[in-house]
């Protein structure tokens, strides 16, 4: 009886580890056919920008920055802090951002876009700036809700574009 039980038990364990979807039915990248992400879907590696890291007595995003040094190019805004992450927007020189968090390696900034250059429209996914009688050279500010304190550290869910940018192209500015 023991001689039969051991081989049957071993076969059940091996069968439980088998891939339920054979490899030949998968597409490159390991995703099954028809399950690819649409252009508006977040990538599986997406990491939201965290606000409130300074605590309940400080603004949700404690720093501000200005995009610069792009030499005519655009700075991609990504949904996670690495080069291969999905691009969700782009910023141009002189765009104002709120700096809310940093990646562990300090190479990426989690930002909320709070001001757009006068020559450009709002980045993809961002709220359009309000129209007013301000001079054309002044960039209209949008209330993103990150200048007030929040009770706990949490993902940003406000109306403005938020994502990750390389810190090389963002200079700190005085509040």
The per-residue pLDDT for range 80-101, each reduced to its tens digit, is 999 889 999 999 999 999 999 9
Is residue 168, in this structure, part of any structural domain at all?
Answer: yes
Distant-in-sequence, close-in-space partners of 35: CB < 8 Å, separation ≥ 6: none
Is residue 91, in this structure, part of any structural domain at all?
Answer: yes
Neighbours of 144 (CB within 10 A): 24
Q: Residue 19 has what pLDDT?
A: 54
Is residue 171, in this structure, part of any structural domain at all?
Answer: yes
CA-based R_g, the chain, Å: 23
- Range ranked top by mean pLDDT from 19-23, 118-122, 157-161: 157-161
Q: Residue 71 has what pLDDT?
A: 85
Is residue 18, in this structure, part of any structural domain at all?
Answer: no
Tell me how far apart the alpha carbons of residues 86 and 79 are, in angstroms, rounded to a whole number.
6
The percent of residues in the chain predicted with pLDDT above 90, rounded, is 48
**Average pLDDT of span 32-41:** 49
**Average pLDDT of span 4-9:** 69
- Range ranked top by mean pLDDT from 2-11, 30-39, 112-121: 2-11
Q: In terms of residue numbers, what domain contains 50?
A: 45-128+140-175
Is residue 27, in this structure, part of any structural domain at all?
Answer: no
Domain count, the chain: 1
**Average pLDDT of span 52-80:** 92
User: How far is residue 41 CA from its own chain's centroid?
Assistant: 12
Determine whether 53 is exposed, middle or buried from the number of CB atoms within 10 Å of its CB (0-12, 13-18, 19+): middle
User: How far is residue 56 CA from its own chain's centroid?
Assistant: 23
Is residue 8, in this structure, part of any structural domain at all?
Answer: no
Distant-in-sequence, close-in-space partners of 36: CB < 8 Å, separation ≥ 6: none
Please say if the pLDDT value at position 5 is more than 80: no
Is residue 26, in this structure, part of any structural domain at all?
Answer: no
Is residue 77, in this structure, part of any structural domain at all?
Answer: yes
């Amino acid at each position: 009886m023991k001689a039969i039980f051991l081989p049957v038990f071993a076969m059940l364990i091996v069968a439980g580890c088998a891939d339920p979807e054979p490899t030949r039915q998968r597409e490159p990248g390991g995703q099954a056919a028809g399950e690819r992400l649409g252009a508006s879907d977040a990538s599986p590696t997406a990491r939201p920008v965290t606000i409130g890291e300074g605590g309940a007595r400080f603004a949700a995003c404690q720093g501000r920055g200005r995009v610069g040094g792009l030499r005519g190019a655009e700075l991609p805004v990504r949904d996670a802090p690495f080069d291969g992450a999905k691009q969700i927007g782009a910023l141009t020189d002189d765009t104002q951002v709120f700096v809310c968090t940093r990646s562990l390696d300090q190479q990426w900034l989690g930002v909320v876009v709070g001001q757009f250059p006068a020559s450009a429209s709002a980045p993809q996914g961002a709220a359009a700036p309000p129209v007013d009688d301000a001079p054309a050279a002044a960039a209209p500010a949008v209330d993103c809700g990150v200048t007030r304190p929040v009770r706990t550290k949490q993902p940003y869910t406000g109306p403005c574009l938020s994502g990750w940018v390389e810190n090389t192209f963002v200079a700190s500015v005085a509040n």
